[in-house]
Amino acid sequence: KNQVEQSPQSLIILEGKNCTLQCNYTVSPFSNLRWYKQDTGRGPVSLTIMTFSENTKSNGRYTATLDADTKQSSLHITASQLSDSASYICVVSGPLGGYNKLIFGAGTRLAVHP
């Protein structure tokens, strides 16, 4: 069964610290992996999209890595800010053209404290 597992479920860090969120998946075949940020009470917003041939992708203080061999991805947040408090969702896409082939993880809830 195609699955996307994220860890940890929740995380608390102090402002200014770095953190890394994990995503393991069993989706096959695989075309791309996405990370979304979801603020409380809002819709998810895309942070990065990586194809199977990409190992790393950055978006400001967010850096996503992908190891397609081990089916693992991570999202690293550098110098965290209070505004980084949100849920971070890993999404794996199946075959190209598969409108219904996005598998969503349950998310990691990050709280950044002053």
Partner 1 sequence: NAGVTQTPKFQVLKTGQSMTLQCAQDMNHNSMYWYRQDPGMGLRLIYYSASEGTTDKGEVPNGYNVSRLNKREFSLRLESAAPSQTSVYFCASSEPPSALNTGELFFGEGSRLTVL
List contacts with partner 1 (CB under 8 A): 4, 31-32, 34, 41-46, 49, 51, 89, 91, 93, 96-100, 102-107
Could you tell me the smallest distance in angstroms from the CB atom of residue 53 to partner 1? 13
Task: Pick the closer one to partner 1 by CB: 97 or 114.
Answer: 97
Instruction: Please tell me whether residue 103 adopts helix, strand or coil conformation.
Output: strand
Could you tell me the smallest distance in angstroms from the CB atom of residue 25 to partner 1? 11
Could you tell me the smallest distance in angstroms from the CB atom of residue 79 to partner 1? 26
Which candidate, 36, 99, 33, places its Cα nearest to that of 68? 33
